[in-house]
Amino acid sequence: MKQFLALMMMMMAWPFASFAQEDDDIVINDVEVTCTAGHLSEVLAPHDPKTITGLTIQGEINGTDMVVIRQLCAPAFYDDQNGMLHKLDLSKAKIVAGGSAYYEDVDYGGTGDVFYLEDDKVGDMMFSDCSRLDTLILPETIKEIGNNAFFGIYKLKELNLPATVSKIGNGAFASCSALTGMIIPEGITEIDKRTFSGCKGLKSVVLPSTLLTIKDMAFLGCEGLEEINIPSKVENIGMGAFMLCKNATKLILPDSIKFIGKNTFANDEMLQNIYCKAMTPPVCEDGVFLNVDVNNCKLYVPKGAFEIYRANYTFGAFANIEETEPAADVLVLDEENENNTLTLYENGVKEANVKLTRKLKAGKWQALSLPFALNGEQVKKYFGEEAVLMEPDRLGDVSKGEEEKSIVMKKAEAMERERLTSLNRPSIPM
């Protein structure tokens, strides 16, 4: 409490006029500190809090320290004292239980609830409304993300989720409108209600192969998404989960899908192609494709499933239904194994082993030996512009009855820049 009061006295002494400056005028001042739980205000004492734009913390932080952090990066509602913290690096920090409550829900008709930190958990509302932040690096030991943990950080562009995270609460990233991409760690089984609701700038999200359920309004209003690819084990998609994803042109539903809630894809007006891999249409509530152009959007269904989809109340509304051979499923690159399995579909299920030239490091694949042949154009189509075909581009002597194969690698600069744990791609010729 003494540390908190000391910080408040410091903030009260700041000249009100100093906060009239715009973000563009701020002088960058990165500060690195090491502290023990409950003593962050003390180690920051030599620094003028109003000048701290970047902060790296090493050591343990508790609720008392989180109060200090929130003061540095959240706007003040009752006076002119606004923190200037834009970048927060907690990669070498550890969140521990103890200290004071870091958040009290008392403003604007709040519930009156108070929140305390727990070990290795980003707590409920922990960074909510810390609107100055545009970059946040979480501790590597985090296991859980609480409800509304990052709600309303509308400038946040970058956020890592450590592989140790096994649970994400509802509304965790809601209204993070500047967030452009996210990789959800393997092991997560559900995307909770409103998790990414209002993330208008979200252009890509990599969902884990372990995902089973996507709950109500999980991606409501994610206008930046151009493709919605549901992982292969998902069975249920909740009400309005992808409603108002206005720029999505492609939707892929797995053969595991059993239920789609009301208005799930409503007002996704740009949808052009929908691929449903299930032989039997999922149970759908009303308005699943409300305001989707069913006269021009094409619906692709498995071979032999045309009649059952045509007779279905929801899917039968599409004027263009075509049967197609199932596409290649998901290639999951496992950091623990050198050999990975790529499931292909050709007259039934066929599994092909994909050989990695070396073990994956930090989720970045470097080279894949594919059990089929691709040319350079196909590599870019299936694996993206960052991938290149290694020489020789085809392995295997056909004249001797050997199967042609290809080796694909990712460009070095892409490997440094991007953490990629799974790829979704179309049908591959064999």
User: Which tokens belong to 204?
Assistant: 């890509």
Is the pLDDT at 335 greater than 80? The verdict is no
User: Which tokens belong to 81?
Assistant: 């004292």
pTM: 0.71
What average pLDDT does this structure show over 405-414?
53
- Residue 18 DSSP SS3: helix
Dump the DSSP string for 145-204: E-TTTTTT-TT--EE---TT--EE-TTTTTT-TT--EEEPPTT--EE-TTTTTT-TT--E
pLDDT in tens, 138-149: 999 999 999 999
Helix-helix angle 2-12:63-73, to 10 degrees: 10
Closest CA to 405 of 392, 418, 419, 388: 392
Q: Which amino acid is at 183?
A: I
DSSP H stretches of helix in 288-341:
306-310
Q: What is the pLDDT of residue 204?
A: 85
Q: What is the pLDDT of residue 415?
A: 38
pLDDT in tens, 101-128: 999 876 555 567 899 999 999 999 999 9
List Cβ neighbours of 9 (8 Å cut-off, separation of 6 or more).
none
Of the ranges 118-132, 371-385, 415-429, which one carries the lowest mean pLDDT score? 415-429
What average pLDDT does this structure show over 179-193?
92
Rounded to whole angstroms, how far apart are CA atoms 61 and 54?
A: 17
3-state helix, strand and coil shares in percent for the chain, rounded to the nearest 5:
15, 25, 60
Closest CA to 305 of 319, 326, 327, 289: 326
CB neighbours of residue 272 within 10 Å: 13
Is the pLDDT at 389 greater than 90? The verdict is no
Using CB atoms within 10 A of its CB, is residue 142 exposed (0-12), middle (13-18) or buried (19+)?
buried
What average pLDDT does this structure show over 9-22?
36
In order of 112, 278, 326, the CA distances from 212 in angstroms are 34, 15, 21
